[in-house]
A and B are shown apart, each in its own frame.
Chain A
Amino acid sequence: MSDISAVLRAPLVDGDKRPADVTEDVCRPLEGRPTGLWWVGIALSSSLLALGVVAVTYMLRTGIGTWGLNRTVGWGFDITNFVFWIGIGHAGTLISAVLFLFRQRWRTAVNRSAEAMTIFAVMCAGLFPLIHMGRPWLAFWVFPYPNSRGPLWINFRSALCWDVFAVSTYFLISLGFWYVGMVPDLATLRDRTRSKLKKRLFAWFSLGWDGSTRTWLRYETVYLLLAGLATPLVFSVHTIVSFDFATSIIPGWHTTIFPPYFVAGAIFSGLAMVLTLMLVARKVMRLESYITERHVGAMCKLIIGMGGVVATAYSTEFFIAWYSGNEYERFAFMNRALGPFAWAYWTMVLCNVLTPQFFWFKKIRSNMLVVFVLSLFINVGMWFERFVIIVTSLHRDFLPSSWRGYVPTNIEIATLLGSFGLFFTCFLLFCRFLPVISMGEIKGVLSYGRSHRGGEA
């Protein structure tokens, strides 16, 4: 069976590589000097990060009043960014866990960087509720711990409490999954590197890995279990994020479609971000023969699919608002499409519904530059989706006398830019110091050394 499929299917890795070539190709960029492109990237992203640090420090010293929020619009950029970043993370788990369970072997080339992306995205996401608290040094109050006030426990009926548990679990499990997946590769680096410091660090983090088959057997079992746990987890996390909205009584938020709608949107935006990063990583780290056009094509097709789900959700929302006969609900949706934030709404529709349609054409899918630009459009569109859901639903509430506008201040914009800085700084550092491709997995999908083999795949 495996022989037949090996003939029929295009190879996952271009250029007839041997296992030693994989080690060489993945490790060499980590050992030499970084490319010029890398320096440009790190300079840009760390400056953005510095800008964000300044903005957040100023905000913490002065107060939440430095943001454009008012009594009507209590959630603005902060929560938009939170939901946006959480969503970005989801595609990483989708690729590493869900595609693993479906035995999609093409994922091997991209899963490591997608998982790294998840971790950095969740870090960015977690930052926003933290600074939104205004007094982040009291953040530990969100956890139930024995305290001297009774003890007074947290309110387990609150969707915000569920969020705390969901996001922290998601971060820890993603981190564990990423790290466990990396241990054998860290051992490869340990046995290769000549630098004394690096050798000590890799030796510490590779946990004495020696490639024993007994360990590999347990390791693969654990990897499968983690994938099985991460899959329902990823669906639960964005479901719970959507509960933050859906359990309220705000028209435009109070809908049962929110959990699947948010999950689909999250995967959609995350896929776009994976694509963006994949295209950057393959250029900056010269990994064109591992992250092939086939991978990019597969991602584009997933984006078409998820884009369809998102478009269906948009139209369903509108239909139900009309069909419910609830005048507040109807108003909220008419206000989205025709009100003062109509520009944001139509940006969202254009980016999220129209852009993926270009991916139907093979010519476009195989043009990396066009794919890169289109993926950026989807990233923008998905950010606007969260902005539209949050701000347009809030800014005109039940009482016309309390209607307000919302304009983000420079501090808020700088904070958003800062989160991008954090994300890309982390990602570029990861590209520089850790293997961006899972060597242990990619060596297992090469055609080398198993030409005459029958039996199992």
Chain B
Amino acid sequence: MNRNLMGVFVHEEEILEVTRACRERGYEIVDVYAPYPVHGLDRAMGLRPSRIPWICFALGVTGAAAMLWFQIWASAVDWPANIGGKPLNSLPAFVPVTFETAVLMAGIGTILVLALRSRLFPWVKPKLAHPKVTDDHFVLAICQTDADLHPSMAEQLLREHGAIEVHEDTGGGMV
């Protein structure tokens, strides 16, 4: 069973420094919980940039291609109608709807991908690292299964960096 050591902080700069320090010592950082996006924290944790932009691009291209094909098919193949003597495949006139569909697909699709990837669903019951983590507290969670981690030393490190509270989380399910 995993046991996590949780350090609670109240200042942004402390959480940045302690995260860097833990990484340097080789502790496994489970996650850092913050009330707002702290810039530089992703780098301190060693997280790689998200790949969602590629998915967004692919969705946009798919949406555009599908809608362009559909417009040409509907106007020139399935039911060719002479409208004001315009060519059946009036490509320039199909641009606005193609663009709008690309944006719609890319935008809504990206939101859904975020929900799937980060498991953000209405029925999810969050397990808060600290009751004030959505207010003004920061929590650093390090994993205790790591052989190098000596609990008292780790706690000392957290305290040195200004942790107002250090506790063990035995609930599991966080990882």
Main secondary structure of the interface of A (DSSP, over half): helix
Given contacts A188-B134, A212-B32, A236-B96, 16 further A-B contacts (CB under 8 A): A19-B36, A144-B74, A156-B75, A156-B93, A157-B86, A169-B104, A190-B134, A203-B125, A210-B129, A213-B34, A214-B31, A218-B118, A225-B107, A236-B100, A441-B36, A451-B13
Task: Give the complex CA separation of A18 and B133 in angstroms.
Answer: 14
Beta-carbon contact of A218 and B52 below 8 Å: yes
Within 8 A of A (CB), among B18-47: 31-42, 45, 47
Task: Identify B40's interface contact among A153, A184, A208, A456, CB under 8 A.
Answer: A456
Beta-carbon contact of B97 and A220 below 8 Å: no
Which residues of chain B are within 8 angstroms of A215 by Cβ–Cβ distance?
118, 120
Which residues of chain B are within 8 angstroms of A183 by Cβ–Cβ distance?
120
Which residues of chain A are within 8 angstroms of B114 by Cβ–Cβ distance?
180, 218-219, 222
Within 8 A of A (CB), among B45-100: 45, 47, 49-50, 52-53, 56, 60, 70-71, 74-75, 78-79, 81, 83-84, 86, 90, 93-94, 96-97, 99-100
Task: Give the complex CA separation of A236 and B103 in angstroms.
Answer: 11
Task: Identify B110's interface contact among A19, A157, A184, A225, CB under 8 A.
Answer: A225
Point out which of A208, A225, A233 has the most chain B C-beta atoms below 10 A from its C-beta. A225
A443–chain B nearest beta-carbon distance, Å: 4
Task: Give the complex CA separation of A441 and B38 in angstroms.
Answer: 10
Beta-carbon contact of A208 and B120 below 8 Å: yes
* Contact A218/B50 with A205-B122, A208-B126 known, Cβ cut-off 8 Å: yes
Task: Give the complex CA separation of A169 and B100 in angstroms.
Answer: 6
Which residues of chain A are within 8 angstroms of B120 by Cβ–Cβ distance?
183, 207-209, 215
CB-defined interface of A151-193 with B at 8 Å, one 1/0 digit per residue?
1110111000110011001001100110010011001101110
Interface residue A129 (Cβ < 8 Å from any Cβ of B): no
Q: List 28 A-B contacts (CB under 8 A).
A: A19-B36, A19-B136, A23-B135, A157-B83, A157-B90, A162-B97, A173-B104, A176-B111, A177-B107, A188-B134, A191-B132, A203-B125, A210-B126, A210-B127, A211-B129, A211-B134, A212-B32, A212-B33, A213-B38, A220-B37, A222-B111, A222-B114, A225-B52, A225-B106, A229-B60, A229-B110, A236-B96, A440-B36
A30–chain B nearest beta-carbon distance, Å: 15
Beta-carbon contact of B107 and A176 below 8 Å: yes
- B residues with a Cβ closer than 8 A to A are 10-14, 16, 31-42, 45, 47, 49-50, 52-53, 56, 60, 70-71, 74-75, 78-79, 81, 83-84, 86, 90, 93-94, 96-97, 99-101, 103-104, 106-108, 110-111, 113-115, 117-129, 131-136
Interface residue A455 (Cβ < 8 Å from any Cβ of B): yes
Which residues of chain A are within 8 angstroms of B36 by Cβ–Cβ distance?
19, 184, 439-441, 443-444
Task: Give the complex CA separation of A440 and B39 in angstroms.
Answer: 13
Point out which of B129, B134, B135, B136 has the most chain A C-beta atoms below 10 A from its C-beta. B134
Beta-carbon contact of B93 and A449 below 8 Å: no
Point out which of A191, A211, A219 has the most chain B C-beta atoms below 10 A from its C-beta. A211
Beta-carbon contact of B35 and A440 below 8 Å: yes
Point out which of A151, A157, A232, A457 has the most chain B C-beta atoms below 10 A from its C-beta. A157
Interface residue A221 (Cβ < 8 Å from any Cβ of B): yes
Task: Identify A217's interface contact among B12, B47, B71, B110, CB under 8 A.
Answer: B47
* Contact A216/B99 with A150-B79, A210-B129 known, Cβ cut-off 8 Å: no
Which residues of chain B are within 8 angstroms of A151 by Cβ–Cβ distance?
78-79
Cβ-closest chain A residue relative to B128: A210
Beta-carbon contact of A153 and B115 below 8 Å: no
B96–chain A nearest beta-carbon distance, Å: 4
Task: Identify A222's interface contact among B90, B110, B128, CB under 8 A.
Answer: B110
Inter-chain CB contacts under 8 Å: number: 217
Beta-carbon contact of A449 and B13 below 8 Å: yes
Beta-carbon contact of B52 and A153 below 8 Å: no
B160–chain A nearest beta-carbon distance, Å: 16
B72–chain A nearest beta-carbon distance, Å: 9
Within 8 A of B (CB), among A225-262: 225-226, 229-230, 232-233, 236, 240, 243
Which residues of chain A are within 8 angstroms of B37 by Cβ–Cβ distance?
216-217, 219-220, 440, 444
Cβ-closest chain A residue relative to B75: A156
Interface residue A450 (Cβ < 8 Å from any Cβ of B): yes
B17–chain A nearest beta-carbon distance, Å: 9
Beta-carbon contact of A184 and B134 below 8 Å: yes
Point out which of A144, A180, A222 has the most chain B C-beta atoms below 10 A from its C-beta. A222
Which residues of chain A are within 8 angstroms of B81 by Cβ–Cβ distance?
155
Interface residue A20 (Cβ < 8 Å from any Cβ of B): yes
Interface residue A39 (Cβ < 8 Å from any Cβ of B): no
Beta-carbon contact of A165 and B134 below 8 Å: no
Beta-carbon contact of A155 and B83 below 8 Å: yes
Cβ-closest chain B residue relative to A20: B136
Which residues of chain B are within 8 angstroms of A453 by Cβ–Cβ distance?
12-13, 16
Beta-carbon contact of A153 and B33 below 8 Å: no
CB-defined interface of A430-457 with B at 8 Å, one 1/0 digit per residue?
0000000001110110001111110111
Task: Identify A212's interface contact among B31, B78, B125, CB under 8 A.
Answer: B31
Beta-carbon contact of B136 and A180 below 8 Å: no
Task: Identify A172's interface contact among B38, B107, B110, CB under 8 A.
Answer: B107
Which residues of chain A are within 8 angstroms of B123 by Cβ–Cβ distance?
204, 208
A89–chain B nearest beta-carbon distance, Å: 15
Which residues of chain A are within 8 angstroms of B35 by Cβ–Cβ distance?
19, 184, 188, 211, 439-440, 443
Cβ-closest chain B residue relative to A163: B96
Point out which of B13, B120, B121, B132 has the most chain A C-beta atoms below 10 A from its C-beta. B120
Which residues of chain B are within 8 angstroms of A213 by Cβ–Cβ distance?
31-34, 38, 41-42, 45, 47
Beta-carbon contact of A217 and B74 below 8 Å: no
Cβ-closest chain A residue relative to B112: A176
Beta-carbon contact of B108 and A173 below 8 Å: yes
Which residues of chain A are within 8 angstroms of B12 by Cβ–Cβ distance?
448-450, 453
